[in-house]
A and B are shown apart, each in its own frame.
Chain A
C-alpha cells in the first residue's frame, strides 16, 4: 500500500510537467477485450483427527489436500475518464470462469488420490488511477493502480464468496492514428487478493494480462 502511494505521487509530478502535450481527443475511453489470469495456489490443508496421546505425537492425518484456482481466460470492459492528458480514472468489470481444483492424496485408508474440481464464475468490479507517458505519441505506455471488489460464485451460482484485491500494473496503448480514437491496449497486472476463496491465512499475488480494443470519444 505504501509502495502504491509512492508511485502515484511520482506520477502526479510527471503529469504536471507534461500536461500540454496531449492531443485533442475525447475525455472518455471505452475498452473491451479479453483477460487472462494465471493460476493461483490456494495452499495445502490436511484433514486431521485428534490423536490419542498414547499412540504418538501430533495429529492423525486422514488425507491431505492442495488447492489452486486454475488459470482462465475471460472478458473485461473498462470505461475511463481523462482528467488531464496524462491522468485518467477507470472503472473496470471482468468476468471469467476459472476452475477450483483440489488434489486429495495420502488417504489413511487407501482411497485413491483424486483431483476434485468445481467451476467458478468470477466477477471483478473495480477502479484504477492511470498515468500515461508521452500522451502525444501513438504508442503510449502507462501505469495503473487500484482496487477491485471480487465476487465468486461456485457451482452454478450456489455459493457466493466475496473479497477484494489491490492491483498494480501497466501496459501500453497503441493508437491507430494520431487522433487517438481507436487503438489496442495491452495490460499486465499483479493483484493482491484479500478474502474470496482462500484456504490458507495468506494470499499469493496473482498475475494477469489483457488485450483490448480502445475507443476514445
Chain B
C-alpha cells in the first residue's frame, strides 16, 4: 500500500526551521558545529500560557483544560522526567513573537491542511528549547466534549500531538493512509506523533502509544529507564548500498508494542533506542513517497523504491544493551 499525503489530507504539521531529524521516532535536532544535537528542554517545569481567545464551541477555559490534560498525559509517562505548569491566560497569540510559551487559537485560513503547528526558540549552541508556541487553526471546527463531537476535531488530541513536538519529538511514520477522491486520509496509526490526524469526532488520539513513549523516553528518560532500556542497531541495504530514510518497525512479541525508527545515514545505519528488553520482529518499509518533507528536511535523499520486508531473524534486545549486527537487505521495487 502506498501512503501518500494528498491535497485534502489534514496534516498536523510542525514549523521548525533547520531541524533535521535525529535517530528514530523522529527527534528534532539541529546542527551545532560538526555535530547534530537534539532539541529538548533543559529546565522544568515547562511553563506555558494559554491565549485568552475563544472559538465557536470552545471557551479559553476549555482550551486550557484540554491543553493541560494533554501536557499531563506526557508528564505522566513513567519512564520520562517531564513536568509542566499552566502559568496563566494571555492576550498574546501563539504566533506573536514573545519570550513565553503560548498555546492557543489562531485563524489561518490559508493553511487549509494544518490543524496545528509548533514553533521554537532554541539556543543554537546547545539545542536547548527556550520557548515554544503552539497554534490551533480556528479555521476548523473544534470540540472539547469528553466523548468527542461529530464533525469537530478533538482539541485535546491535537494538543497532545503538538505538545509532543513542543517537547522535541518529530513525526512518526507508524501509520497507514488511504488515497481517495479528496486526497489522503489515515486508516490507522501507531503513534500520536503520526502526522495525519484521525477524522473529526474521534478521541482515540488522546492516548500515547508505545512509539510515543519510546520517543519521549529517549529524550527525557529517567536514569532507571536508561539503565534498563535496550536498543537495536543495524543497517538497511539495497544492492549492497545503504538505504537512507527506510522506516524500520520493531514489534515486541510479548507486549505487542510497535516502535518505529529510520535509517538516517548514507550507509543505511539505524538505531531504535528506548526499547523494552525482549524479543522483537523487525520490519522494514519505504517511507510514504509523498510529503517526505513531513519527516525529513532533505527529502530528496530518501529512498522509497524498495519493497517492504520482514527480517528473517528474531532480535533479542538485552536489558541495558544493544542488539547489534542487524543487517537487513531489501530488494528494489
Contact between A114 and B279 (Cβ–Cβ < 8 Å)? no
Q: What residues of chain A lie closer than 8 Å to B313, measured between beta carbons? A: 116-118
Report A47 CB to chain B, min CB distance, Å: 5
Q: What residues of chain B lie closer than 8 Å to A158, measured between beta carbons? A: 316, 318, 321, 323
**Which one of A53, A118, A160, A199 lies within 8 Å of B202 (CB-CB)?**
A53
Chain A residue at minimum C-beta to C-beta distance from B324: A158
Contact between A100 and B279 (Cβ–Cβ < 8 Å)? yes
Could you tell me the distance between the alpha carbons of A54 and B321 in the complex, rounded to whole angstroms? Answer: 41
Q: What residues of chain B lie closer than 8 Å to A199, measured between beta carbons? A: 253-254, 279
A155 interface residue per 8 A CB criterion: yes
Of A29-37, A71-79, A101-109, A130-138, the one with at least 4 CB within 8 A of chain B: A101-109
Report A111 CB to chain B, min CB distance, Å: 4
Contact between A111 and B279 (Cβ–Cβ < 8 Å)? no
Contact between A52 and B279 (Cβ–Cβ < 8 Å)? no
Chain B residue at minimum C-beta to C-beta distance from A51: B188
B274 interface residue per 8 A CB criterion: no
Contact between A155 and B310 (Cβ–Cβ < 8 Å)? no
Contacts A65-B281, A197-B279 hold; do A110 and B308 have CB atoms under 8 A apart? yes
Of A8-16, A56-64, A88-96, A166-174, the one with at least 4 CB within 8 A of chain B: A56-64
B204 interface residue per 8 A CB criterion: yes
Q: Mark B148-176, 1 if CB is under 8 A from A, else 0.
A: 00000000000000000000000000111
Tier of interface size on chain A: 35 or more
Q: Mark B9-30, 1 if CB is under 8 A from A, else 0.
A: 0000000000000000000000
Q: What residues of chain A lie closer than 8 Å to B174, measured between beta carbons? A: 49
Could you tell me the distance between the alpha carbons of A104 and B209 in the complex, rounded to whole angstroms? Answer: 22
Contacts A53-B201, A116-B281 hold; do A60 and B317 have CB atoms under 8 A apart? no
Contact between A47 and B308 (Cβ–Cβ < 8 Å)? no
Contact between A108 and B209 (Cβ–Cβ < 8 Å)? no
Chain A interface residues toward B at CB < 8 A: 45-55, 59-60, 62-63, 65, 67, 100, 102, 104, 107-112, 114-118, 154-155, 158-160, 197-199
Known: A63-B281, A100-B314. 15 other contacts (CB 8 A): A45-B253, A47-B249, A47-B283, A49-B188, A52-B187, A55-B185, A55-B188, A62-B190, A63-B283, A63-B310, A107-B310, A114-B310, A158-B321, A160-B318, A197-B279
- Interface CB pairs A-B, < 8 A, 15: A52-B199, A60-B176, A62-B176, A63-B251, A100-B314, A108-B176, A111-B308, A116-B311, A118-B279, A118-B316, A154-B316, A155-B314, A158-B323, A159-B319, A199-B279
